[in-house]
Chains A and B, each alone.
Chain A
């Protein structure tokens, strides 16, 4: 007996060691580091290690742009051809009689017998003209068209290739992950380095930003094609190309169309930011409005972007609807097309391409007045909220993290959490990246930004989870919320800033509120989705045992929805991070402000340093929330 229980006891002892050792390590490590490093700032040993060579390269690039083969044989021709394409498309759009736009919009959508959406989209497509932004809209459309076209030409073949080659997929996945983790404006910095400022770098930055969804969804669509359909094609002796073009691509079409749609939406989402690179168009209008603190003008331009988004989204959706059985007949479509083309030639012959001047249809003044009224009359709410956030939360949090807790403790604790959640690889990567961030002199700025990010994420989650649960349980609530969420998501993030900046004083708070408005949407959506997707049988089983609503919610619904809710939290964090830099435009200190400074002063070295800091934060937060989501997943077979 003793012989057999002794190893068991030893095993239990070993088990206990295994269970408590990490905690002992944490406590001892924190204590030692805190005592030995207390009060010491992060040594900026590499202050210029990154920025100097980059700035030197930039200076070199500037003086060699006309002579060096890197530019004369690659960047300059690339730049010229994109510029030519932009000019041609823009010229064509300006030449088009304006009414062709609503006509074609209506026709494309009505083809699928969705008359109302077609009519609404056609009306929406006229809106920019009514507020006097027709030319700006056409500029933006031209840039979008070229950018999206390039995305498709690159993205669809890459997606197909990734679906077939496991190796290519394993190489591409981390790249795509990184592309989506990196906040958009970070792309701008290398653009400036190689292409300077202008429409072309703006187009390329848009392409890079909008490329991942089309690649991912093409690959996903191809991979999801019913295996038996592919086998059937193979067994009848189809060549690979026959199977691809006759079976796989047609069956992946809905997914590919969704990818195109998302790519368009992402391209549109960055249109405002792209003005930092000189994209012009509607984005410039929003940016000017922000600088002049004119909510009316900003709203008018913002709505124009929403209108473009809505029209493109509807048209995209009409193409995604590949079930032709309920479409209008070919003949009717052809007649409609002929009518639009006829009108086109008639109009251009008569010189009707200008949008007719609309007098005094102005929504600008009333919006300006409303925001000013709100600023003056709501200050009894906004002022204390602002002061509370700054004085009681953000400043103490920053002081705690920079002055009270020694920096090595933060790195060690982060690495420890990464190790426990994901393993030593992430811990090593996190520790290394954080050290680099400190060494290049971004530590304090990063801490400031981190406090803003955490505040925005906490607020977003506090709103998103209860609202999401409510919406997930009550379809009617969800239906009522849907248009609001849609609108929040299509409005370019900048537009939120304008009224918020006006309502609050210049501090970190407007940036945080704008981030919350922007990021709360996926949180609500995914929470609602998670709650709704809980199998009905599990809920019935719970009820059959006599559980109360509350018991069912906390015992069955939420645990089963938890992985999806966690995915929502992950998205919230990513979107808040994407807003960090935009918030810099509203006067938030920290990395965002530095990023704006880097772009406006073309201090590319500084831009790279900010990029490293933001990407570090993004990688760590992204991987940790993903790991948390995986842990919440019930074990599968």
Chain B
């Protein structure tokens, strides 16, 4: 099992209200947001969320507006203080840190990309990208050189002397991405970075992020309201609703086995055969009638479908070391596609 990078334990965030304890107690007893707001004046934005993110993993939190996903990512990066709970980064408790220590950790390990870019309109692109290095005290020549390199990585070579508002939305978010990458962070937070972009640019940026992540292997916490985006980018996805997680799982797990009706609502429109893998639907031990056919556990159903149609007998599913972990047959696939 890979190493844990971020661990969030029992995280709560309550806004406003006089009696936070009462609000939390009500929430624990199962009261809804509206009821708690009416009784205590407090809004429970994040309720008792726990999860871990492994090093190098892309963890997506998907939820609609008002689900608390933005608040959650701000708690994890401690842009706001969680009301309860602990946030561990490499085993260090962010919530227990004083300002100076937190600042040091941020300089060394964190960065973030924002929905509306959060660029500094009074600074040129190059100085936006170099900002993280600037606050660390890196000399001007050195940080500019580094910023130029990163600009080239995101495809903005030669744009350094422009001001952000002279660039298109997609280019501005490339600046935001470059700024986040320039400090060589261990962890990247993305707060709906592509929501403000039009669909074609969005897809382009998603593909580029996938390429970058493939090379850089950073730990990413990615917030989105777009389920398709979540499936495309996420190693694991958490579906968030009313401040808590309905389900955490790989894209294939969510689609093959949605935990709640709410999750099913999102998975309904996704072409399952393109996401669900043979490993997810594999059942039982090695089949007697498998007649030697094998597919990889990571193969999508779409890919193995022709083989199953050719011959109704089950097919063995093997992991990446060639061991048989189960088999798929027509019944299992039909059942999965029908639900």
When chains A and B are docked, how far (Å) is the Cα of A251 from the Cα of B112?
20
In the complex with contacts A228-B115, A231-B112, A322-B122, A236-B79 CB distance below 8 A = no
Residue B159 is within 8 A (CB to CB) of chain A in the complex: no
The segment from B130-138, B235-243, B269-277 that touches chain A is: B130-138
When chains A and B are docked, how far (Å) is the Cα of A325 from the Cα of B107?
31
A229 contacts across to B, CB distance below 8 A: 118-121
**CB atoms of B107 and A237 under 8 A apart:** yes
**CB atoms of A232 and B112 under 8 A apart:** yes
A237 contacts across to B, CB distance below 8 A: 103-108, 110, 132, 135-136
Residue of A nearest to B182 (CB): A236
In B27-76, the 8 Å CB interface with A consists of: 74
A165 contacts across to B, CB distance below 8 A: none
In B72-117, the 8 Å CB interface with A consists of: 74, 77, 79, 103-108, 110-112, 114-117
B135 contacts across to A, CB distance below 8 A: 233, 236-239, 242, 246
Residue B179 is within 8 A (CB to CB) of chain A in the complex: yes
Residues of B within 8 A of A (CB): 74, 77, 79, 103-108, 110-112, 114-122, 131-132, 134-136, 163, 166, 179, 183, 189
**CB atoms of A235 and B122 under 8 A apart:** no
**CB atoms of A236 and B77 under 8 A apart:** no
**CB atoms of A228 and B121 under 8 A apart:** no
A226 contacts across to B, CB distance below 8 A: 116, 118
A238 contacts across to B, CB distance below 8 A: 103, 135
When chains A and B are docked, how far (Å) is the Cα of A141 from the Cα of B82?
54
Q: Residue B183 contacts which of A228, A236, A250 (CB distance < 8 angstroms)? A: A236
Residue A234 is within 8 A (CB to CB) of chain B in the complex: yes
Chain A interface, >50% SS class: helix
When chains A and B are docked, how far (Å) is the Cα of A239 from the Cα of B132?
11
Number of A residues with CB within 8 Å of any CB on chain B: 20
Residue of B nearest to A250 (CB): B122
Distance in angstroms from B82 CB to nearest chain A CB is: 16
Distance in angstroms from B218 CB to nearest chain A CB is: 15
**CB atoms of B136 and A228 under 8 A apart:** no
Residue A247 is within 8 A (CB to CB) of chain B in the complex: yes
Q: Residue B179 contacts which of A231, A232, A242 (CB distance < 8 angstroms)? A: A232
In the complex with contacts A234-B79, A251-B122, A228-B117 CB distance below 8 A = yes
**CB atoms of B118 and A239 under 8 A apart:** no
In A227-282, the 8 Å CB interface with B consists of: 228-229, 231-239, 242, 246-247, 250-251, 253
24 residue pairs of the A-B complex, CB under 8 angstroms, read A226-B116, A226-B118, A228-B114, A228-B115, A231-B74, A231-B79, A231-B112, A233-B131, A235-B77, A235-B111, A236-B183, A237-B103, A237-B105, A237-B106, A237-B135, A238-B103, A242-B135, A246-B120, A246-B131, A246-B134, A247-B120, A251-B120, A325-B163, A325-B166
B183 contacts across to A, CB distance below 8 A: 236
Distance in angstroms from A103 CB to nearest chain B CB is: 30
A235 contacts across to B, CB distance below 8 A: 77, 79, 106, 110-112, 189
**CB atoms of A228 and B132 under 8 A apart:** no
Distance in angstroms from B109 CB to nearest chain A CB is: 9
When chains A and B are docked, how far (Å) is the Cα of A405 from the Cα of B188?
73
Q: Beyond A237-B108, A251-B120, list 20 extra A-B contacts (CB 8 Å).
A: A228-B115, A228-B116, A228-B117, A229-B118, A229-B120, A231-B74, A231-B118, A232-B114, A232-B131, A234-B106, A235-B79, A236-B111, A237-B106, A237-B107, A246-B120, A246-B135, A247-B120, A250-B120, A250-B122, A251-B121
Residue of B nearest to A232 (CB): B118
**CB atoms of A231 and B104 under 8 A apart:** no
Distance in angstroms from A539 CB to nearest chain B CB is: 28
B79 contacts across to A, CB distance below 8 A: 231, 234-235
Distance in angstroms from B333 CB to nearest chain A CB is: 45
B105 contacts across to A, CB distance below 8 A: 237
A251 contacts across to B, CB distance below 8 A: 120-122
In A199-246, the 8 Å CB interface with B consists of: 226, 228-229, 231-239, 242, 246
A325 contacts across to B, CB distance below 8 A: 163, 166
Q: Residue A231 contacts which of B108, B114, B122 (CB distance < 8 angstroms)? A: B114
Distance in angstroms from A232 CB to nearest chain B CB is: 4
Quick one: which of A226, A234, A237, A247 has the most chain B CB within 10 A? A237
Q: Residue B118 contacts which of A228, A242, A246 (CB distance < 8 angstroms)? A: A228
**CB atoms of A236 and B131 under 8 A apart:** yes
A228 contacts across to B, CB distance below 8 A: 114-118
Distance in angstroms from B292 CB to nearest chain A CB is: 55
When chains A and B are docked, how far (Å) is the Cα of A35 from the Cα of B118?
68
Quick one: which of B74, B116, B131 has the most chain A CB within 10 A? B131
Quick one: which of A228, A235, A238 has the most chain B CB within 10 A? A235
Residue of A nearest to B119 (CB): A229
The 10 closest A-B pairs by CB, nearest first: A228-B118, A237-B107, A237-B106, A236-B132, A232-B118, A228-B114, A235-B112, A238-B135, A250-B122, A237-B103
A246 contacts across to B, CB distance below 8 A: 120, 131, 134-135
B118 contacts across to A, CB distance below 8 A: 226, 228-229, 231-232
Quick one: which of B103, B118, B163 has the most chain A CB within 10 A? B118
Distance in angstroms from A506 CB to nearest chain B CB is: 56
Encode A575-598 as 1/0 by CB contact (under 8 A) with B.
000000000000000000000000
Distance in angstroms from A230 CB to nearest chain B CB is: 8
Distance in angstroms from A280 CB to nearest chain B CB is: 41
When chains A and B are docked, how far (Å) is the Cα of A165 from the Cα of B22?
27
When chains A and B are docked, how far (Å) is the Cα of A322 from the Cα of B163?
12
When chains A and B are docked, how far (Å) is the Cα of A322 from the Cα of B122?
8
Residue of A nearest to B121 (CB): A251
